[in-house]
Structure 1
Amino acid sequence: MTNPSPNRPLSVVLAGGGSAGHVSPLLAVAAKLRALVPDAKLLAVGSASGLETRLVPAAGLELALIDRVPMPRRPNADALKFPMRMRRAIADSRRILREARADVVFGVGGFICTPMYLAAHRAGIPIVIHEANLRPGLANRLGARYTGTIGTAFEQTALRGSVWVGMPMRAEVADLDRAAARPAARQALGLDPGKTTLVVTGGSLGAVRINEALSRSLPALAESGIQVLHITGAGKSLKDQAGNLLRAPGYHQVEYVDGMELAYAAADLMVCRAGAGTVSEVAATGTPAVFVPLPVGNGEQALNAGTLVRHGAALAVADKDFSADWIAANLLPLLRDEPRLIAMGDAAGRHGIRDAALKMAELVVGAAR
């Protein structure tokens, strides 16, 4: 096991990437590490195909790349190549750790973390893990064999030796006062400050089902006088038959919002997937929500949403049931019910955790020392 030398700065390698759900908590912890140990050397490790290639440098953090090696789910050509590709990724990970003179590895899960955990374990470097989902992913289940320093976003997450810390998130989200920020947020997003506002997002990659259902609901939403901010996802703009961006009264669409705190502040109600980061941010900001869990994987999104739904802070609807008819029967009445929206927001806020990034940064520093 390595120990930081008193003659050089603490060196932390932060592993994870792909979607914003992995990159955002990684960057939140990195920011708190900078605050705790200003001279620390931080290096993020991701893949060339993930959002980290844009978000990590934008945060002023150095990024190293290794190949993303998904675990094959069936016998095919990829399965035959998997052992060789994994050995190469582990070798690349060991080289990165050696060159960084890493004192500790912090991982948030995903394909990038598997070789990084294995390389760190073989090199005797302490590992710290954050698990975002209620049902742990494969990489973090593997990494948990090699460390007892694990933080989880959800209290019910079952990982041996873990502690419940919440979801690390950017200070702009964690410290958000929605009511105070609402006028400026709506102005920044080009919205009418005085209109009831629905924010719809399928996450950074978008959600076809959500986008299609909303597009069919635009006449009813326009007739109701409700304005909509629709965050369609990268490359998923809605267009009319002439190829122009879809337009309707009160309807505003963008592919991506840099700074989701603006969207939370602007929203009277949010429709969204139930990724762990989104569920945690909805709670921390006290935003009423309708969750449409992604119907693939191991069902973790429906589990993620469960606590807020049970406590009246949110609604959940199955992806297959989210339609223009469901919006007319359920969403429009909810948007007109201001007391219920206020009660939902209050309930969400009571289940939010705002200091998880600091807790994880303290675990990282403690493991290194």
Structure 2
Amino acid sequence: MKIAFTGGGTIGHVVINMALIPEAVKQNIECIYIGSKTGIEKENIKTQFPDIKYFGISSGKLRRYFSVENLKDVIKVQKGVADAYRVLRKERPDIVFSKGGFVTVPVIIAAKMLGIKTIIHESDVTPGLANKIGLKFAAKFYTTFEETLKYVPAGKADFVGGIVRDDIFTGDKAQGYQLTGFNQNKKVLLVMGGSLGSKNINTAIRENLSSLLNDYQIIHITGQGQSDESFSQPGYMQYMFVKEELPHLYAITDTIVSRAGSNAIFEFLSLRKPMLLIPLGLDQSRGDQIENARLFEEQGYGSVLQETDLTSTTLIAALEVIENNRLAMINKMTHSRLSYTPAQLLQKILDDAKQGD
């Protein structure tokens, strides 16, 4: 058995593939990865899985609006199909697993041309443009949210819920306190602005730092190039990004302030961490995080503060709502349906790959 994984452009289009690959390797399944030539997926896959063959292909951006650049990108996508066709014809995987992002469209089209079955996984409530296009050529479409099923033909769609990496449960509180130097008797607030960080969230936290430090110790994941040592003080720890430290930081965290990317918020849910979600606005996205956040708030897992409403005053007020409803939120999360582990999802992929053979 050989699986070709594809997905890229953002860490959200890579992280589930990164959770599945070790499970596949355990079962002696050969894995290859098809991504862009310079995207975030290339760095992550080559760093984490140096033994996995990585193939970079041409990739154009898919836009929902008219632009002269669209003409150039049509050519890039066509070249990407040719690139992917050559890779797939040579490697002959049994199945393609696609996580989304512009780079996946040429791969899915080439797989269809070669008669290779494709399974797509959609993280958000509403499918992204790349996955909408890919759906036409795919055999199966997995959804993270049950609400997504209404956007997909019934015969193709399966609701699998959020996929949560096993390693997030391996955090050790002692290591978390050692990493931060924090006091075990005071609550910890974890702030994350997504893979690139958020200038607006960072500013709101720093403007309220003295007030917040009365109630919390703060772990602030700022994003690349956005840390500011002038704010350094006891009880406030800044990281531009974290990798192996994250499970230990989760272990000591009481409350989380975060964007509302699907992969991240399902991690918070599985760890029973009350969350204040500040989704990317319509000026920066197609609104997928707004929908993700709305559904989590409706189910009682956290509260939502729109970025357009984010001020020093509203941030403090929103965190007070979290603290006043902490036990109710944890109770709701405890009784939630958590979905598939990476091992369970891999088994479903393998079962679906065999159907119709």
Q: Does TM-score exceed 0.5, indicating one fold?
A: yes
**Residues in 2 aligned to 1:352 and 1:274: alpha-carbon distance in whole angstroms:** 19
Identify which of 187, 191, 199 aligns with 1:200.
Answer: 191
In structure 1, the partner of 2:39 is: 50
The answer (yes or no) to whether the contact 1:30–1:361 under 8 Å persists in 2 is no
Between the aligned partners of 2:138 and 2:58, the Cα distance in structure 1 is: 24
CA separation in 1, counterparts of 2:294 and 2:322? 19
Could you tell me which runs of 5 or more consecutive residues in structure 1 were left unpaired when the two chains were aligned: 1-9
Change (3 A) 1:85 1:321: same
Is the Cα contact below 8 Å between 1:148 and 1:162 reproduced in 2? Answer: no
2:85 aligns with 94
Find out whether 1:266 has 2:266 as its counterpart.
no
**TM-superposed deviation, 1:367:** 3.9
Does the CA contact (< 8 Å) of 1:149 and 1:363 recur in 2?
Answer: no
Tell me which amino acid in the other structure corresponds to 1:148. Answer: A
TM-score normalised per structure 1: 0.87
3-state DSSP of counterpart to 2:190: strand
The CA deviation at 1:332 is: 4.7
CA–CA separation in structure 2 for the residues paired with 1:356 and 1:129: 17
From the superposition, tell whether residues 227 and 126 of structure 1 become closer, same or farther in structure 2 (CA, over 3 Å).
Answer: same
2:345 aligns with 360
Task: Determine if the alignment matches structure 1 residue 228 to structure 2 residue 223.
Answer: no
Give the structure 2 partner of residue 288 of structure 1.
274
Q: CA RMSD in A?
A: 2.0
Q: Distance in 1 between matches of 2:174 and 2:296?
A: 26
Q: Deviations 1:199-235 (Å, cap 9, x if unpaired)?
A: 000011101110111110112123x142100000112
Instruction: Flag the structure with more relative contact order, 1 or 2, with Cα contacts below 8 A and sequence separation at least 6.
Output: 1
- From 285, 293, 296, give the equivalent of 1:308: 296
CA separation of 1:301 and 1:122: change in aligned 2, threshold 3 A: same
Q: Residue 18 in 1 paired to residue 36 in 2? A: no
Contact 1:225 1:250 in 2 (8 A): no
Look up the equivalent residue of 1:209 and give its one-letter code: N
Change (3 A) 1:307 1:351: farther
Per-residue deviation, 1:138: 1.4
1:251 Cα offset (Å): 1.0
- 1:28 lines up with 2:28 in the alignment: no
Report the equivalent of 1:317.
Answer: 305
Change (3 A) 1:305 1:356: farther
- State whether residues 207 and 232 of structure 1, in contact with CA within 8 Å, keep that contact through their aligned partners in structure 2: yes
| Range 354-363 or range 227-236, more displaced | 354-363
How many angstroms apart in 1 are the aligned matches of 2:32 and 2:146?
A: 29
Q: Find the residue that maps to 2:124 and give its secondary structure.
A: coil
Tell me which of 152, 155, 164 is aligned to 1:159.
152
Residue 5 (structure 1) aligns with: none
User: What is the CA-CA distance between 1:80 and the residue it aligns to?
Assistant: 2.0
* Contact 2:7–2:34 (Cα < 8 Å) also in 1: yes
Identical pairs, percent: 28
Instruction: Give aligned pairs, total.
Output: 345
Is 1:170 matched with 2:159?
Answer: no
SS in 2 for 1:52: helix
Q: Is the 8 A contact 2:117 2:139 kept in 1?
A: no
Corresponding residue SS for 1:156: helix
Structure 1 window deviating more from structure 2 (83-92 vs 157-166): it is 157-166
Which residue of 234, 237, 245 maps to 1:252?
237
User: Do the aligned partners of 1:187 and 1:193 also contact (CA within 8 Å) in 2?
Assistant: no
3-state DSSP of counterpart to 1:228: strand
Q: CA separation in 1, counterparts of 2:205 and 2:109? A: 44
Name the CA shift for 1:125/1:289 in 2 (closer, same or farther; >3 Å): same
Contact residue 167 and residue 357 of structure 1 kept, 8 A: no
Q: 1:105: how far off?
A: 0.5
Distance 1:196 1:365, change over 3 A: same
Q: Which runs of 5+ in 2 are unaligned?
A: none
Aligned letter for 1:363?
K
Shift of 1:352: 4.8
1:324-343 Cα deviation digits (max 9, x unpaired): 111233325644x5xx3233
